[in-house]
Structure 1
Amino acid sequence: MPVDTAKKKVNRVNTQTTKMALANTDETTRTERARAKQGIDAPTAVLVGATGGLGHALARLLAAEGFRIVLAARREQNAAVVTDRSDGSAIYLRADVTDPASLQELATAAFEHLGRIDAVVNLAGISPRKPLEDYTTADVDALMAVNVKGPIYLTQAFLPRLLKQSGGAVVVHLGGAMDGRVALPFMSAYAATRGALASYVQGANRELAGTDVVLSFFGPVPSNTESESPYFDMWRKMGVALCEPDVVAREILATIRQRRRAHVMGGGLLKMLTLANAVSPSIADAIGLRRFGKLIKEHSPR
């Protein structure tokens, strides 16, 4: 077959594949909206720790796409911003990711309200930036409680019912920027928790093979949110563009629909560092991680 003819054939196949993917996405959206009109058959999601800018953006998007939502957080006033504007599609339930009993109660109440659950999204997390010697016992305990124990307790609370229901579900845990294995300087203890989460999700999926339940590690990019605002200048100096929360929310929705086991946002420098670190950490250091360390140190509270 001539080379030009082969190229044209490949291009036609690629075009057809793209059209099929878009058609499948459109069909998924139409199906979800049709289910939404039927009330109880609408797609459902539980958002945990969804009280910040990203959580609000995700809740708005899911509501617009026909989801019925449970927002779970420690403080109701933060969730009220979303529930008050949801036209009845979202309710608030109190929950604390560091308290296993609280999460068991959340799971029971969420299933009672929603009937079935298609997605659980864990947005809770803390990320102190400090030199090695400045991490206190309280810092380390809090990091482990929220970033490591919390996802495990949350998964355990929902998993038995998710396995019993028909149709399966996805549990999405938000990790840090990149793949959870790139450890930035002056964020060492935090990086340890994200690496632990990535490994937990990977191991859990191997254990759940053959079921309809998937755990997902979602690595967002730095976002234009209030919680990240102290570090806007730092990211700018690093050459990392901030992403709007609505964009991150759409990526999370795609992860829910496609039930991805892992999805890491970011291109350019962040992608290069992630790939380089997987091959050789020293290469990642030379490309930019050492420079990142100096900038993080400048913007870290002492």
Structure 2
Amino acid sequence: MSTLFDVSGKVACVTGASSGLGRQAASLLARAGCRVVGVARRPDHLAAWAEETSGETATISADLADRAALREIATDAAKPFGPIDILINAAGINTRQTAGEVTDEGWDATLNLNLAAPFFLAQHLVPAMKEKGWGRIVNFASLQSRRAFPGGISYGASKGGVEQMTRAMAEAWSGHGITANALAPGFFRTELTGPVFADPELAQRNADQTCIGRNGEPADLDGPLMFFCSEASAYVTGQTLFVDGGFTAK
């Protein structure tokens, strides 16, 4: 049974690896025997992650919102350990602007980092996956892929796009042995959700909305992530898995 979830020896690229759920994913894969390349903007946070993580790791400090830099990021990601087998698109931004407050700059920044960057980075990495006949792409969707929250119009638009993009990636690339799926976390305490957890009453309301009765802990994503990264999900593609304690079930 353990061979189903074995990712040892695979090479993974994880965006947003310096904090939050991206860091959790990068650390998990490294502990599982992957050689992990972490990508994020902040070199000090990346260095701290690499120092604290057991296993083979490398880091790339880069701005994923810079569309022109994505080809170079993809090239650099393959230098430490070879071609990428697993891509985790965890980097993201949420400006939390209401519909009346959304600016051109805020809209473009959100759609560019949350939606365009995952696609174009994958596009640059897919040729090497095709050569191997094996690859895993895991995008990060959201509750807002399907639910509308206050102050979330640009974020929700980007995450709704992630869900559809994941299906389109599967249609385009799964015939070459490359699966594309998405995780949609519920409320987890991270930098991105800091404003939510800063309000204890709001955090409790969110917990009460789940079937399980609590908000998520980073480790709650470990099993679903390993499923999507391994042979266990070989016949699963184009799907979005809500890891939300049943929030969307109620």
Pairs aligned (count)? 237
Percent identity between matched residues is: 25
Q: Distance in 1 between matches of 2:88 and 2:49?
A: 16
The one-letter code matched in structure 2 to 1:251 is: P
Matches within 5 A, 1:230-269: 230-232=195-197, 233=200, 234-238=202-206, 239-240=208-209, 241-257=214-230, 258=233, 260-261=236-237, 262=239, 263-269=241-247
Which digits, 9 at most, give the CA deviation of each residue in 1:202-256, with x for residues without a partner? 1221122421112222111211224323212323123242211122233212221
Tell me the TM-score normalised to structure 1 length: 0.72
Q: Distance in 2 between matches of 1:28 and 1:268?
A: 26
Q: Distance in 1 between matches of 2:132 and 2:50?
A: 26
Contact kept? 1:58, 1:246, Cα under 8 Å:
no
- Root mean square deviation, CA, Å: 2.0
Larger radius of gyration: 1
Tell me the TM-score normalised to structure 2 length: 0.86
Match of 2:4 in 1: 28
How much has 1:181 moved relative to structure 2? 2.5
Match of 1:281 in 2: none
Question: Kindly tell me: are residues 181 and 269 of structure 1, through their superposed partners in 2, closer, same or farther at Cα, counting changes over 3 Å?
Answer: closer
In the alignment, which of 110, 132, 152 is matched to residue 119 of structure 2? 152
How much has 1:91 moved relative to structure 2? 0.8
Higher helix share: 1
Contact kept? 2:70, 2:117, Cα under 8 Å:
no
The one-letter code matched in structure 2 to 1:265 is: V
How much has 1:198 moved relative to structure 2? 1.2
Gaps of 5+ in 1: 1-22, 37-41, 273-302
Contact kept? 2:216, 2:244, Cα under 8 Å:
no
How much has 1:170 moved relative to structure 2? 0.9
In the alignment, which of 94, 100, 103 is matched to residue 136 of structure 1? 103
Gaps of 5+ in 2: none
For the pair 1:70 / 2:70, whether they are aligned, the reply is no
The one-letter code matched in structure 2 to 1:146 is: L
Contact kept? 1:54, 1:246, Cα under 8 Å:
no
Question: Kindly tell me: are residues 27 and 160 of structure 1, through their superposed partners in 2, closer, same or farther at Cα, counting changes over 3 Å?
Answer: closer
Contact kept? 1:97, 1:153, Cα under 8 Å:
no
The list of structure 1 runs, each at least 4 consecutive aligned residues, that deviate by more than 6 angstroms after superposition, is: none
SS in 2 for 1:132: coil
For the pair 1:169 / 2:135, whether they are aligned, the reply is yes
Deviates more, 1:262-271 or 1:127-136: 262-271
Matches within 5 A, 1:160-239: 160-166=127-133, 168-177=134-143, 180-232=145-197, 233=200, 234-238=202-206, 239=208
